[in-house]
Amino acid sequence: MSTTIDLDEPAVGPTFTPISTGRKIRNGIAAVLVTLAFLVAVVPLVWVLWTVIAEGLSVVLRPGWWTQSLNGLLGRQQGGGAYHAIYGTLMQSLIAAAIATPIGILVAIYLVEYGAKSRLARATTFMVDILTGIPSIVAALFVYAVWIAILGFDRSAFAVSLALVLLMVPVVVRSTEEMLRIVPDDLREAAYALGVPKWKTIVRIVIPTALSGMLTGISLALARIMGETAPMLILVAYAPFINYNVFAGNMASLPLLMTVERANPTEAGSDRIWGAAITLILIITVFQLIAALLSRVTAPKTK
């Protein structure tokens, strides 16, 4: 190949060209920007997690944090635990979930399977969209106005649950609706053609097919309401002791514990805030993990 002569040169230019310098530069700039955006998004997240763990880990590892309340402790006294607040957070959000999930799923079933394009369905979708954006304090004030001011009930953990229901229902409706819509109509028709009534098709074919995604949506909605604070501030007062009765009396919850201890300038106070923060993150994480597991188990398989 060392003795190439002019005659061996191709008569026309090559079909393929190298990557132009301009494109290399643009590619480089875009890569840097995308990476920077990623860092801007991730750094604060990692920072928050790191701070919470650094400040709170020793607190939640103390004996009694998961089993005791703060009953009888002075503000500056170390010790005690968050059992009362953990109980409150779990009860309030699980009661809300127990009410909101069936309502949300039934509304979504109506919208997808029965409502089709009817005016009622369109109006419902519109209302759900508005409700999705409702601030939690508005939901709390609404429950205060109806449940406490008009119907005359006392402030209680159950009132908090009712406000959380208002916040959770639209999220469950939207996510369930999306999941039901992506179930192919082929499957519904296959079931009808076997002589299966519509309701049974929905319960035994459509919902099992969509279940995996529905569970993810419900767990996201649950995570959202677990961190809510406004309804607790308005609808129930903080109690440093354990109250098992959701219908009467004051009851703590993790967000409320943090808000109340913020007024406590001592080291014990800030320890409790960080401890409560890490506890809340842990509880939400555990629920997410359970949901992810359930969603994997229930997902349609191909192998």
Partner 1 sequence: MAKRLDLKDVDIYYGSFQAVDGVTLSIPPNSVTAFIGPSGCGKSTVLRALNRMHEVVPGARVEGEVLLDGEDIYAPNVDPVSVRRTIGMVFQRPNPFPTMSIRDNVVAGLKLQGVKNKKVLDEVAERSLRGANLWNEVKDRLNKPGGSLSGGQQQRLCIARAIAVQPEVLLMDEPCSALDPISTLAIEDLIANLKKQYTIVIVTHNMQQAARVSDQTAFFNLRATGEPGRLVEIGDTEKVFSTPTEKATEDYISGRFG
User: Of 272, 233, 285, 266, which Cα lies nearest the Cα of 82?
Assistant: 272
187 binding partner 1? (CB under 8 A)? yes
23 binding partner 1? (CB under 8 A)? no
Find where tokens 């509880």 sit: 283
Q: How far is CA 96 from the centre of its chain?
A: 13
Query: At a CB cut-off of 8 Å and minimum separation 6, what does 219 contact?
Result: 287, 288, 290, 291, 292
Task: Please name the amino acid found at residue 207.
Answer: I
**Cβ distance to partner 1 smaller for residue 98 or 190:** 190
Tokens of residue 61, six digits: 């590892």
**Cβ distance to partner 1 smaller for residue 211 or 294:** 211
Candidate list 84, 174, 188, 272; residue touching partner 1; CB under 8 A: 188
182 binding partner 1? (CB under 8 A)? no
Q: Please report which helix (H) or strand (E) contains residue 5, including its range.
A: none
Count of positions on this chain that bind partner 1 (CB under 8 A)? 26
- What burial letters (b/e) apply to 239-278, b meaning 16+ CB within 10 Å? bbebbeebeebbbbbbbbbbbbbeebeeebebbbbbbbbb
Q: How far is the CB of 194 from partner 1 (least distance, A)?
A: 4
208 binding partner 1? (CB under 8 A)? yes
Q: Are 111 and 179 in contact (CB under 8 A)?
A: no
- Residue 105-124 contact track with partner 1, rule CB under 8 A, x = bound: -----------x--------
**Cβ distance to partner 1 smaller for residue 64 or 300:** 300
Sites for partner 1 among residues 51-110 (CB under 8 A): none
265 binding partner 1? (CB under 8 A)? no
**Cβ distance to partner 1 smaller for residue 135 or 184:** 184
User: Of 185, 183, 178, 166, which Cα lies nearest the Cα of 217?
Assistant: 178
260 binding partner 1? (CB under 8 A)? no
Q: How far is the CB of 196 from partner 1 (least distance, A)?
A: 5
Q: Are 225 and 253 in contact (CB under 8 A)?
A: no
Question: Which region, judged by CB under 8 A, interacts with partner 1, from 35-43, 45-53, 187-195, 271-279?
Answer: 187-195
Query: At a CB cut-off of 8 Å and minimum separation 6, what does 144 contact?
Result: 159, 234, 235
DSSP state of 72: T
Please, where are the H alpha helices in the chain? 21-60, 83-109, 119-132, 136-143, 157-181, 185-193, 198-201, 207-226, 230-235, 254-261, 267-298
28 binding partner 1? (CB under 8 A)? no
**Cβ distance to partner 1 smaller for residue 204 or 296:** 204
Q: How far is the CB of 237 from partner 1 (least distance, A)?
A: 47
Please, where are the H alpha helices in 110-156? 119-132, 136-143
Question: Which region, judged by CB under 8 A, interacts with partner 1, from 41-49, 52-60, 190-198, 248-256?
Answer: 190-198
Question: Which region, judged by CB under 8 A, interacts with partner 1, from 22-30, 68-76, 192-200, 249-257?
Answer: 192-200
Candidate list 157, 165, 191, 277; residue touching partner 1; CB under 8 A: 191
Q: How far is the CB of 80 from partner 1 (least distance, A)?
A: 48
User: Of 157, 103, 162, 156, which Cα lies nearest the Cα of 136?
Assistant: 162
202 binding partner 1? (CB under 8 A)? no
Instruction: Kindly list the residues in this chain that would bind partner 1 in the complex (CB under 8 A).
Output: 116, 184, 186-197, 200-201, 204-205, 208-209, 211, 298, 300-303
